[in-house]
Structure formats: C-alpha cells, structure tokens
Amino acid sequence: MHELRKLLEEVARGIFPDADGVVEFVDQPGPRDCGVIAFTAHSVVFADVDREWMRGLLPAGDVSAPLNPPFLRALEEWTGRRVDNLDLLAVAGALTGPPPLPLVEINDVDHPRIRRALQHRDGVRAWQSDGGVVLLGRGVADRWEIAIEVEDAHRGRGLGRQLARAGRHLLGAGQAVWAQIAPGNAASVRTFLGAGFLPVGAEALLTQQITASTPADPPDHRAEGLAGGALRT
C-alpha cells in the first residue's frame, strides 16, 4: 500500500500525523496524482521531485510554507503542471440505509459532469435527483471522492446537503469519502459540514493541463467499495 494512501486511511479513522512541523516528501501514488496535503503542523508533498532542492525552498519553522505561492510555484515549474485549486479537505464515513432522497444513476458517459470528473478520478459513478447530481470516484491515492452539483433553481433548499449525505449512503460499509471544497465557497463548506463531513486539512493538487478535446475513459461501473452493484432503494 502506498504510504499516502495509508496515511489518508488513518486520518479517515481519526488517527492524525503528529503536529511536529515536519514536511514529508513521498513518491507520487500514480502518474496523475501530484500535490501537497497539509494537516495541523504537518504536511505531505507527493511529487516526483528533487527532495533536497525542494526542502531548501521551505523556510525553517514556517508550517504554512508548503501551501504558500512560492513553494507551489516551484512545484509547478519542476513538474510542468499547474495548481488546480487550494481546497479545504474534509472526510466522512459511510452510512447505512437508503439515501435521503430519490436518485437515478446516470449512465451517459458524455454527461458533462461525468466527463469533468473523469479528468481527475477513476471509476466514476453519478446519480441524479430532481435538481442535482452526486458523483463518487477514486481520486488521490485511490481514495473515494465526492462531488455534488445543484441547479440554480433548486439552491437554498437544502438539496446540496441531502446530496452530500446521499454520497455517504452509496458507499460500502467501512468506507470513507473525501470532499475537496473551495474555502471561499462558504455555501459549499456549510453544505458538507451539515452532511457530517469533518474538516481535516487543506490540499493543493497539481494537474496536467487537459484540453476540451482530450478523450476521457468511460466510467467503471464495477467500482469496488460502493454499496452493491446498484443503488440501494
């Protein structure tokens, strides 16, 4: 098991790295995943870089440095990638029973939300409700990740919170799901907090630039770790 995946699984169980001011450097878990995750006074850089050179860019005692622009810019230049966003990282465990609202699985691989998700995740599955969509897929270090989307006409009614909570019901027993939330999107932060997600850190992913013409693989409907092969009702 890759060391980043092991660390994330421990955090999902409430076991956090020591707040020791350390910046760990580990190999990328795969060609796609590259970036920085910061916990309380402990950061992990997962990038195939010259570690000693990168360490020299980190001011001693500055626990915020790995997510600050100078260091991230150096990572961009070394890897030839771009920082996609700086996100709040939150996690929640699976819930038993049916989701809190009716959902229908989307099987159209050309659905725009699915195509976007496939640029960053594997094994993507998506479900639609009246006014919204919830997606699950395997992201960084093979962790389960969730994304939701609410149509403009249905906002302000608690639908986002229901969709975020529904994602937890769609997981298999014992699984955890991660949400990457733009900190400035206060409504989204409140949505995931209200759905039982726990903030555990921050994350900056460095992505390869993908154009609109880049083909995406179809979703893998055999994705392991979900609640059975079909949606529970």
**Residue 119 pLDDT exceeds 60:** yes
d(CA 195, CA 187): 12
Mean pLDDT score, 182-195: 97
Instruction: Give residue-wise pLDDT tens across range 211-224.
Output: 433 333 433 433 44
Structure tokens at 213: 């013409």
- Tokens coding 119: 């640029």
pLDDT at position 217 is 41
Q: What pLDDT does 226 receive?
A: 60
For 224, the token pair is 């392991």
Q: Where are the domains of the chain?
A: 93-175
Cβ neighbors of 233 (< 8 A, separation 6 or more) are 98
pLDDT digits (tens, 9 = 90+) for 7-19: 999 999 999 999 9
Strand pairing class (104-106; 122-129): antiparallel
The CA-based angle 164-33-204, given to 5 degrees, is 65
Work out the number of other CB atoms within 10 angstroms of the CB of residue 102.
Answer: 13
